[in-house]
Amino acid sequence: MFRAIHLEQDDNRKTIAEIRSLPDTALPSVDGGVTIDIAYSTINYKDGLAITGSAPVVRQWPMVPGIDFAGTVAASQDARWRTGDHVILNGWGVGETHWGGLAQRARVKGDWLIRLPASLSAADAMSIGTAGYTAMLCVMALERHDVRPEGGEILVTGASGGVGSFAIALLAKAGFTVVASTGKTAEADYLHSLGAAEVIDRSSLSQAGKPLQKERWQGVIDSVGSHTLANACASTRYGGTVAACGLAQGMDFPSSVAPFILRGVTLAGIDSVMAPKALRERAWERLAMDLDATVLKQITQEVDLASTLALAPKLLAGETRGRIVVDVNR
């Protein structure tokens, strides 16, 4: 038996989320599957949507949410993985179309796993989690487009969230001048402690703006979307790059082609869910090398499995900070 957050829909298509004890036979059947004893998971924005039923992110019912986890191989039908291997999973539709990580046990495809870097514990890996991994994918995208520390300011939107927090820490350590945009002005000290040189109110970006604005940013990491992304693009300098990875404000993009054809701005889409394995491995190698371990303590709070049910709506309302790591075994 294992404990899990279990989601199902009632006759009115309302999501019912509760903690259940389930038999191992309930785990999904997977050809060549790998069974994982999960040590830690997390609660991300998408998990909040799934648990509350606020958006149709769950595609199959019933479902165990949790888009990432770290743990140990308990059994494997895949020759690449042996009992006792320490592994990480991010994305691949777990928590949406396949049972995910907010449980004590999971069964997944071997292709979806990567090896836990030797310098990280399972708790460290989930302190980083999908948020930190996504932030690193964004940083790597900026680097590929020749964004360099000496080139000027980098804007990070949604700065007090998980992706934003890690983006600030990673960029600051690499020598970039980071400007953090947040709706939580009370978090200014926290953002400065992560390395932000300046903190601005999100209201300066969140309303409809002109298609071209005063050039400021060499690069942008945006986890917000909608008007915020449009304004970020409109104020990015000639030849700059905007890495877009989230939609906290909305999926719409009320902009024009002006920044792209008049200023040569690059809009780089960042997908963490289906990213190729080689890119994932490189991102986690970089996280293990580049991330200051003390940052994890600043960014992370740890909770038990049952607490995630109450935290899900708070996460969606923007009432949490940084990362929430879930010890699924307590």
Structure tokens at 55: 């958006």
pLDDT in tens, 197-212: 999 999 999 999 999 9
Residue 63 exposure: Cα atoms within 13 Å on the Cβ side: 25
pLDDT in tens, 3-31: 999 999 998 899 999 999 999 999 999 99
* Mean pLDDT of all residues belonging to the chain: 95
Which residue range forms the structural domain that includes residue 226?
129-269
pTM, to two decimals: 0.91
User: Residue 307 pLDDT more than 90?
Assistant: yes
In the prediction, which pLDDT does 181 show?
97
96 and 167 fall within a common domain = no
The residue among 227 and 248 whose pLDDT is bigger is 227
In the prediction, which pLDDT does 292 show?
83
Domain of 262: which CATH number? 3.40.50.720
CB-CB contact of 162 with 323 (8 Å): yes
79 and 41 fall within a common domain = yes
For range 122-141, the mean pLDDT:
96
How many separate domains does the chain show?
2
86 and 193 fall within a common domain = no
User: Residue 222 pLDDT more than 90?
Assistant: yes
pLDDT band at 62 (very low <50, low <70, confident <90, very high): very high
* Helix/strand/coil for 113: coil
Of 253, 269, 285, the residue at which a domain comes to its end is: 269
